[in-house]
Amino acid sequence: MKRTKQDEGEDRAVAVPSDGGGTKKRATRPAAAKKPPAAAGVLAQPPLQLQSQPVPQSEPSSPPALAAVAAQAPSRGNEPGALAPRGDRPVDLVACQERIGHTFRDESILLAALTHASGAAHRLASNERLEFLGDAILGFIVCDTLYQMFPHSLEGDLTRVKSVVVSRETCGRISEQLGLTEFLIVGKGLAVNSAVPVSVLSDLFESIVAAIYLDGGIEPARRFVSRWMEPEIEQVSSGAQGANHKSLLQQLSQRDFSVTPTYEVMEESGPDHSKSFHVSAFIGEQRYTPAWGRNKKEAEQRAASNALVELRAAGVGIADAGRRG
């Protein structure tokens, strides 16, 4: 039989020492055939076509609530006027800033303030942390305002006014007045077409306060809070929403004059189903400037407020009213 080179290669052996001192043969596999070198200027294999299939770049994952941005508006980063998604619709951040009255240098802060936990990829991407900060900033600004506006009021009276002004109901109502629900970013679990809970609206307002503070500092935040909260403070302090001027006047009158104030309706106006009352407060024979109210209770509170102002102007110790001893 004619032997081939492959057969001859299989018969090759390497001499290795045996246990007995001799040698034995060990079969080896044929050596791999060497490839001939490529001719000069010629590639051994066709080049890889790298340009025909570009390598896709991985992109960071985005929250589900933000997924609609790319499909509806070009990505513009922090460029003023960038659109942020609200469910299946974009949110116009320009209109939102006009409504708030503050132009953000970093619109991502505003976007976070508008994002409810239900519309965020995770809770750190929602407005919960901003709400925490905004609650403290709002409380500070309101307390500072009350301290400056009412230098002769007791701590307890200031606290009562503050508790109404910064309440969930008040903050939620201001969010509605601002129309912030139009820009609120929520998930499927909180339908934007249904009534938004007061707690969500209140948190939204406090988040906006914090966002303005982080973006521009305390002064822009103070201007924003003052614009919306000072009318509330004036309304509460006038007796319209529970600041008890009658109680304060009674304490002062009993302490300084040993009498209890009385109230008298000086005039009535309007039809029976919608009357207004003009009421004066009296301390003994002294009558104080009357005040109108939509009912007797409101008119008496405002009349007591007028009496306190006049007593303060006369130098009566309003700051000590309510203290025992």
Q: Which of 135, 157, 215, 298 is catalytic?
A: 135
Q: What are phi and psi of 161, to 5 degrees?
A: -65, -45
Whether residue 106 lies in the annotated active site = no
CA distances from 122 to 5, 52, 117, 258 (A): 70, 38, 7, 63
Two tokens, residue 47: 């080049």
Residues 6+ apart with CB under 8 A from 18: 24
Whether residue 135 lies in the annotated active site = yes
Q: What are phi and psi of 115, to 5 degrees?
A: -95, 110
**Long-range contacts of the stretch 257-261 (C-beta < 8 A, 24+):** 257/283, 257/284, 259/283, 259/284, 261/304, 261/307
- Contact between 117 and 128 (Cβ < 8 Å): yes
Neighbouring C-alpha atoms within 13 Å toward the C-beta of 172: 11
Q: Which of 131, 206, 232, 298 is catalytic?
A: 206
Residues acting as catalytic residues: 135, 206
